[in-house]
Structure 1
């Protein structure tokens, strides 16, 4: 398989996913309450085997799932994606007991996962996290943290079985909060160490001291804030290695950023399809709208950008699956191009439809609300440009300046 074409089996599978989304998932989504976790929808995603595929498929399959579902039912796409985002750190970095307890329940839709990275003062600058993991009394020695560049000291629960740390602080803009059953939480275990002093924890929602508040957002999926008031965690809750949790976060984002682009491509294709149907049928100025060059050229531009974004998403996913060394750059490029493209295509489709597209319940009114957030979450467009530039300069071969 190349990065620029799909096997026939993939094409057939995508068509089947669109049919499932339209016939079985959209009715459940329409019965859900905006801003709340739709557990019947999750259960159906589990029954169809789609949630289980989050842990057995590669990046390209994830992109194909997200693109296909987004074309027909954005709510189903987002429900699936959030399960994957919250649970991937457990799948990739969790212990066997953590995986055995949570992953089967995520796969059947009975447990809701959430990825808790962002804070009120640490969004794009994720290494500036301030949620504090303070050592509890009786925890193993070494509270001052490791020397710069040294391996982190082993951290265990106190001898009496109580927690090794207490989490204190806030998280904000967390998808699926406060209704998730468990959270992948990133906390500061070594003050002043930047990205090297962050640890990832698996925190069940019923831990004492953990509370949450829903936020009323433009997007219809659930988003909330979390408050940690000395929430106890132990060594058994650590995902990966203490003080190396930033790697857990970046590994997860490198996988999911291209698939955010796939979500955007699915929305762009839905908007393009709507524009083609409308301009081909709408009578205007003695003919059809499509007969106006100003209209047909806009539609051509929408199609061009959508296909370019799709190819870049597939290329980034293929790079991830083959272990290419430039995954961070490709993932950032894919997310950036696809989300900016989707914003453009949906906006153009609204313009071509006129006022009818702004009416509540219209497909494009729904997409117009949905398409804005992906340019912000999992790294804003400006952050993606920074990542791309950093990777370009990092791999540049040293050369003498001209005339030196």
Structure 2
């Protein structure tokens, strides 16, 4: 017997049978979720020896001339029409002329190919449009985001029949049809297997002809654009109890297109998600009949709904919310830096206090990192890759860093950001945070189950082939494949153990770097942590096996390590792509120091919680002999904070084209005050050196010129305007329910057994609402100057006021039932 045959009989076959018995059963939905999308840079990180030259060779994401023209034209014009306070407080919806503009300019058809009437934009252009709109209005950003993400358009392009594409895509592109997608129900969120929404194959006479179709019963909630949608993409469990189709009786999750005006559809009521007013609401259907050709992809795609959804989500989750999060992080860093410069306490800018500088450094670092990761992910998507694990990383970490950034900005602004009104530019972002955290896969689920759970199988170089071999119904063939992959896996693990030990004990000096220079050490340390992660992942999987699915905290920490490796790779890639800007090095160093400390903390927590302590000690000696990463030091923190406190190219790059022109709107005033404060600082420094505290007295004594005094006066007056907060006349804040209660409707979880409640009179029809706004819609402003928001009513003076009401009509804030 040769050595290979001996290994197979004595080692591989027993290992195969043990692993086959130990491996937990994988549900169909789990398998489809795992198999969706592609692996990409995450697979390189899982090898323990990432190829940095491969990463740096990825072309940066760029815009085509047509895409840039759209950004400079329609997107800029749209942003000029948006007044988030008027949208959220007065109208509780986008103005009618904005809805019309979105349709005529084909904002809802960005991802639809030009041959079908869409714009045919790249993923990066899609991301850029959403990012820029979101910086002006969360409501508008979400409204544009949803039709271009997971929904009928994306599903039709990937899976629709040619006839479906030819009919639906042009209508979706030009806004004749407004889409929504119904997946979540009271009984089933992330667990699609619990879905109770049904579709039964049946025969029904329609207009004198007997048709084979599907009788649908469902109840959905949290559906964005649902109240105004004209076509509903519906996920449901399909069955054929009478065998009409000649196949299995239980067909599985399927997706169909349902016109919202079909008999039996109840739609139009609205949710109010965290006081955000983008269109979102429940819908239901009772005995709604649709023909078989309503199934996306036709009968051939029946039962493939979950696979279709996971495939579409693999790309979309990496675009939509990361784009909104990047906008939020950039705006928070940009505005908070300016505010911390112009706001003074004890005679100095608050940005000079170290407690505030700690928050400013976090804001600057997170803005740089999230934008870097967004660009790298879009670069992969532009190449046609659908990186499922990376998309999960982006969804979780972009929104979590958005949460940190918004909270930091609120803390620095203090009362200025707490008082709501037209001049509060942070309030809407703050209210949007829980929505971003929750949708497209709740963050707790994403971190604990998806990132490492999916990544370990998809991105690991050997685990997926081993699992497929273990699941092969032909045991002989399964053993043969397993034997080959198993020994290659062992050789890989052995080499990676030696690599991890060598790199850990030398502080990464044995790891390669693609180039010399100030960031070469960062590449080496990332290589060191990648080797340690690969070894730790293999050891944890070997020790816990299928039990890792239940050890969610360990899985989450391993996912955190993988995520940090990806995000820090993106930081280095951005620095290289932008031409190695020396002024940006403090941000790179801050991100690295913060990320390295997070990686070591997560490694330590995994090692402390592994059940076999001897293995834990051995692994600690191999990959974490000393915990050297302590995070950014105080000097680096101050250096990063200073980047936000003065106009500079770095500050401009952090704002990422979202900065406003000086003007009279809240952000325009802040921009002007920031520039004026910087311009007069040399004058103030000279006065301070002369122990002169009052510039007016200095002017009277001739210590400063008339021109310098005028500069100081203009700066002081502008800063005073920036510091003002909104207040309202009592009648402008009349309780919404005064006079008549807001009507709500008890949701019925089982429309199959009980008829839906009739619509309330105030329910909106399934098209963009035509409710009467508090005043006539304002006309769009010129794109160069965003529409100036209305100021709240002041008790002391008659200007600026909330919109005037008709006589005997309550103020907008008091109208019961409007848009309920």
CA shift in 2, pair 1:366/1:237, >3 Å: same
Listed as ranges, the matches of 1:295-314 within 5 Å are 295-314=356-375
Taking structure 2 as the reference length, the TM-score comes to 0.43
Listed as ranges, the matches of 1:47-66 within 5 Å are 47-55=104-112, 56-66=120-130
CA shift in 2, pair 1:274/1:287, >3 Å: same
Listed one character per residue, the Cα deviations across residues 25-61 of structure 1 (whole Å, up to 9, x for unaligned) are x159945766546553232123334333221123222
Alignment partner of 1:329 out of 368, 371, 389: 389
Q: Once the 2 structures are TM-superposed, how far is the Cα of residue 111 of structure 1 from its aligned partner?
A: 2.5
Count of residues in Structure 1 that have an aligned counterpart in Structure 2: 382
Tell me which structure has the larger Cα radius of gyration: 2
Identify the residue that residue 192 of structure 2 maps to in structure 1: 126
Q: Once the 2 structures are TM-superposed, how far is the Cα of residue 235 of structure 1 from its aligned partner?
A: 1.5
Relative to structure 2, which stretch is displaced further, 1-10 or 280-289?
Answer: 1-10
Identify the residue that residue 148 of structure 1 maps to in structure 2: none
Alignment partner of 1:223 out of 265, 275, 280: 280
- Between the aligned partners of 2:304 and 2:83, the Cα distance in structure 1 is 42
Listed as ranges, the matches of 1:99-248 within 5 Å are 99-137=165-203, 160-190=209-239, 197-212=252-267, 213-218=269-274, 219-240=276-297, 241-248=301-308
- Between the aligned partners of 2:99 and 2:158, the Cα distance in structure 1 is 22
- SS state of the match for residue 136, structure 1? strand
Question: Is the 8 Å Cα contact of residues 163 and 232 (structure 1) preserved in structure 2?
Answer: no
CA shift in 2, pair 1:22/1:323, >3 Å: closer
- SS state of the match for residue 173, structure 1? strand
- Between the aligned partners of 2:211 and 2:283, the Cα distance in structure 1 is 23
Question: Is the 8 Å Cα contact of residues 332 and 363 (structure 2) preserved in structure 1?
Answer: no
Structure 1 residues without counterparts, runs of 5 or longer: 140-156
Q: Once the 2 structures are TM-superposed, how far is the Cα of residue 319 of structure 1 from its aligned partner?
A: 2.3
CA shift in 2, pair 1:34/1:129, >3 Å: farther
CA shift in 2, pair 1:162/1:190, >3 Å: closer
Question: Is the 8 Å Cα contact of residues 343 and 350 (structure 2) preserved in structure 1?
Answer: yes
- Between the aligned partners of 1:230 and 1:53, the Cα distance in structure 2 is 34
Identify the residue that residue 454 of structure 2 maps to in structure 1: 391
* Larger strand fraction of residues: 1
Listed as ranges, the matches of 1:257-276 within 5 Å are 257-259=317-319, 260-276=321-337
Q: Once the 2 structures are TM-superposed, how far is the Cα of residue 356 of structure 1 from its aligned partner?
A: 1.9
- Between the aligned partners of 1:232 and 1:38, the Cα distance in structure 2 is 34
CA shift in 2, pair 1:207/1:138, >3 Å: closer
- SS state of the match for residue 100, structure 2? helix
Alignment partner of 2:411 out of 351, 356, 372: 351
Identify the residue that residue 589 of structure 2 maps to in structure 1: none
Alignment partner of 1:40 out of 97, 116, 123: 97
- Between the aligned partners of 2:176 and 2:209, the Cα distance in structure 1 is 33
Question: Is the 8 Å Cα contact of residues 60 and 376 (structure 2) preserved in structure 1?
Answer: no
Q: Does 1:76 align with 2:76?
A: no
Q: Does 1:98 align with 2:164?
A: yes
CA shift in 2, pair 1:3/1:283, >3 Å: farther
Q: Once the 2 structures are TM-superposed, how far is the Cα of residue 190 of structure 1 from its aligned partner?
A: 4.3
Taking structure 1 as the reference length, the TM-score comes to 0.84
Listed one character per residue, the Cα deviations across residues 116-149 of structure 1 (whole Å, up to 9, x for unaligned) are 111112112234322101121479xxxxxxxxxx
- Between the aligned partners of 1:245 and 1:205, the Cα distance in structure 2 is 20
CA shift in 2, pair 1:138/1:207, >3 Å: closer
Listed one character per residue, the Cα deviations across residues 149-196 of structure 1 (whole Å, up to 9, x for unaligned) are xxxxxxxx9x944351111121111111222111111110149x9x98
CA shift in 2, pair 1:330/1:274, >3 Å: same
Q: Once the 2 structures are TM-superposed, how far is the Cα of residue 92 of structure 1 from its aligned partner?
A: 2.9
Listed one character per residue, the Cα deviations across residues 247-278 of structure 1 (whole Å, up to 9, x for unaligned) are 22112222221121111111221222221121
Identify the residue that residue 154 of structure 2 maps to in structure 1: 88
Identify the residue that residue 290 of structure 1 maps to in structure 2: 351
- Between the aligned partners of 1:339 and 1:312, the Cα distance in structure 2 is 12
- Between the aligned partners of 2:400 and 2:59, the Cα distance in structure 1 is 21
- SS state of the match for residue 214, structure 1? coil
- Between the aligned partners of 1:29 and 1:102, the Cα distance in structure 2 is 35
Question: Is the 8 Å Cα contact of residues 119 and 171 (structure 1) preserved in structure 2?
Answer: yes
Relative to structure 2, which stretch is displaced further, 387-396 or 219-228?
Answer: 387-396
Q: Once the 2 structures are TM-superposed, how far is the Cα of residue 350 of structure 1 from its aligned partner?
A: 0.7
- Between the aligned partners of 2:197 and 2:92, the Cα distance in structure 1 is 25
- SS state of the match for residue 185, structure 1? strand
Q: Does 1:372 align with 2:429?
A: no
Q: Once the 2 structures are TM-superposed, how far is the Cα of residue 107 of structure 1 from its aligned partner?
A: 2.3
- Between the aligned partners of 1:172 and 1:255, the Cα distance in structure 2 is 23
CA shift in 2, pair 1:256/1:35, >3 Å: farther
Relative to structure 2, which stretch is displaced further, 30-39 or 281-290?
Answer: 30-39
RMSD (Å), alpha carbons: 3.1
Question: Is the 8 Å Cα contact of residues 216 and 289 (structure 2) preserved in structure 1?
Answer: yes
CA shift in 2, pair 1:227/1:77, >3 Å: same
